[in-house]
Amino acid sequence: MAEEPITVDADYYETDSAYSPDDHEWQTGDTTSIGSSIYQGLMLHGRRYQSLRQKEYIVPSDELQFETYQAGHIVDLILNYHKENALFQSPIGENRDASLQILDIGTGRGSWAIDVADMLPNSYVRGVDLYPPPIDWTPPNCIFEVDDILEEWTWRESFDLIHMANMIGSFDSSEWERVYQQCYDKLQPGAWFEQFEIGPFVESDDGTLPPDSALASWGPMLKACGERAGRSCSIISTMSSNIRRTGFVDVHERVYKWPIGPWPKDERIKEAGVMNFQHWMTGMEGWCMWLLTKYGTPQPWTTEEVYVFCTEGLGSKAFPGRNHWKPSQFTITNRHVDRFYESEGSIWHEQIAI
């Protein structure tokens, strides 16, 4: 199924100002951060990384990264706000009074787990990550744990839903197999697993992304660095097949675009693009610093070279008022086929008309 281009807002380009990160009128306001003194971690390139296990995580675990997670969470909510449940697609949430066990792997800032706990007050939501989220309050039915999901899972309960998002570059291929297997083993019969990931490649519907720009080189470069590091940065192309191999049945996919910037005509998609640009503003350096300084070519990059690259990537030359976007993929699967609500066909591949 061919992907539909996103309709461009012609009125936006009639303004005098060029599309630039220096023009902040359409960007979000101030964000709130917490002090880093309450955390411990490995400091590299001025950023804090987790140190729970010897194998480093490729993105930081600090205040700026948590802001990035929050921006990405908001983008996803905006793109799904027209649905009755914007947080997950599994039908278990249809009964808001149900008592469910829910696990959020790689919880990050904890926003998804908290929102789900608020929506399902009789359910119990557990968020797990290598770093504690910067939160002062949680609903009474939500708990956060610092743990490594590659270790043996010791939770006594089985889960009705396991959710995972933005785990790109977290594991090598054998570790992914282990994670999926542990998810499968810990789901109750008829329970659900959902994963949402964003691809590394930036694309353009009208071909206006300069081929020699930092954004055009972003995807191929991160993909190559991830391969050298043994951490795939293009798991959206493999996760569905890996999930099937684990034993899950009726793996359904939903593929759609995340616009970068305020150029879409549709107001909902425009709002998502504005927030996604903020997502890039806070996230781009953290996404590539570890990979480029360790696995960049022709030799590992310096910290300063990464700063320059990110500045070019987010500068006005990279965004000449054109429609740039990133592909994303959402995969949902059932522990057993008898409870799946989409009975026709084994693939659910919905292209959102944006």
Percent pLDDT > 90 in the chain is 49
Residue found by looking up tokens 């593929």 in the block: 255
Nearest to 77 by CA among 115, 33, 133: 115
pTM for this entry: 0.83
Domain residue ranges in the chain: 10-29+57-351
Please name every residue paired with 331 in a beta bridge, in sequence order, or none if there are none.
195, 253
Please name every residue paired with 138 in a beta bridge, in sequence order, or none if there are none.
none
Q: Which CATH superfamily is domain 10-29+57-351 in?
A: Vaccinia Virus protein VP39 (3.40.50.150)
What letter would DSSP give residue 48?
E
pLDDT in tens, 25-35: 333 333 233 33
How high is the pLDDT of residue 313? 83
Is the N-terminal amide bond of 133 cis, ω within 30° of 0?
A: no
Q: Residue 242: is its pLDDT beyond 70?
A: yes
Band of residue 67 on the pLDDT scale cut at 50, 70, 90: very high
* Cβ atoms of residues 310 and 285 within 8 Å: yes
Nearest to 191 by CA among 50, 48, 47, 93: 93
How high is the pLDDT of residue 292? 96
How high is the pLDDT of residue 344? 29
Q: Which residues contact 214 (CB under 8 A, 6 or more apart)?
A: 309, 310, 312, 313, 318
Lowest mean pLDDT across 99-103, 194-198, 213-217, 240-244: 213-217
Average of per-residue pLDDT across 270-288:
93
